[in-house]
A = this chain, B = another copy of it.
Amino acid sequence: MSTIEHEIQQQHFSSHKQKAILNIIFTANWLRSQQLQLFKSYGISPEQFNVLRILRGQKGKAIGVNGIQERMLDKNSNASRLVDKLIEKQFVERKSCANDRRQVEVFITNKGLSLLAELDEQIMAADDKYIQLDAAESELLNTLLDKLRT
């Protein structure tokens, strides 16, 4: 019994669409909670982890704070400060850009890559375990979410 009705103790919704909105928000919070413990044990937040993955995805190619922001899951986040936190922990480096001195170029360090290699694997293993969807259902879910935002 993990219906949204049960989870938020609400029996009536004005429409399936309104219910879906609450369900998406609730499920996103639930997902975050599931992952938090693991993140915490590595001294990093889900948002910082997201930034690290973006940087790894660059494969050494230069990216600025703006580029990170555009690729983030939350477009209203504040990449500048997240990068600060990651620099403190030596997971990323900041280099000033020669061509355009307004820009900075952000790179993931070897220490950052090591962390990701380990944490990423554990997060994915955990996800696979507690997310009760098969590939076809996941694909359908992606289709619906993409359509929702069209």
Contacts and interface: CB of A to CB of B under 8 A. Distances in A.
Interface residues of A, number: 56
A62 interface: no
A72 interface: yes
A64 B50 CA distance: 37
Interface stretch (A91-99, A106-114, A135-143): A135-143
B144 A71 contact: no
Given A132-B148, A133-B144, A127 B18 contact: yes
Contacts of A136: 16
A15 interface: yes
Given A8-B72, A137-B144, 4 more contacts: A15-B138, A24-B27, A132-B147, A140-B140
Interface of A: 2-4, 7-10, 14-33, 57, 70-76, 124, 127-128, 131-133, 135-142, 144-150
